[in-house]
Amino acid sequence: MSKSRIIANRWIYTGKLLKLELLQVRGPDGRAREREVVRHPGAVAIVPLLEEGDQRKVILVRQYRAPLDRELLEIPAGTLEPGESPLECAKRELAEETGYHARRWEKLAEFYTTPGFCDERLHLYLARGLEPLGGNRPDEGEFLRVEEIPLERLEEMLSSGELEDAKTLIGLALLARLLKL
Enzyme catalytic residues: 140
User: Which has the closest alpha carbon to 6: 20, 19, 22?
Assistant: 22
User: Which has the closest alpha carbon to 51: 133, 157, 130?
Assistant: 130
Q: Which residues are CB-contacts of 148 (< 8 A; sequence separation ≥ 6)?
A: 50, 57, 58, 59, 60
CA dihedral sign of residues 146, 82, 120, 129: negative
Phi then psi for residue 116, to 5 deg, are -70, -30
User: Which has the closest alpha carbon to 57: 154, 170, 160?
Assistant: 154
Among 84, 92, 118, 137, binds a copy of itself (CB under 8 A): 118
- Binding segment for a copy of itself (CB under 8 A), chosen from 53-61, 82-90, 107-115, 127-135, is 107-115
Among 7, 11, 34, 62, binds a copy of itself (CB under 8 A): 34
Among 12, 32, 87, 179, binds a copy of itself (CB under 8 A): 12
Is 67 an interacting residue with respect to a copy of itself (CB under 8 A)? yes
Residue 1 or 135 having the CB closest to a copy of itself: 1
Phi then psi for residue 83, to 5 deg, are 80, -5
- Distance from chain centroid for Cα 63: 14
Residue 109 or 149 having the CB closest to a copy of itself: 109
Residue 21 or 101 having the CB closest to a copy of itself: 21
Site of interaction with a copy of itself (CB under 8 A): 1, 3-6, 12-13, 15-18, 20, 22-23, 25, 27-29, 34-40, 43, 64-69, 72, 74, 77, 79, 109-120, 122, 141, 143, 158-159, 161, 163-167, 169-170, 173-174, 176-177
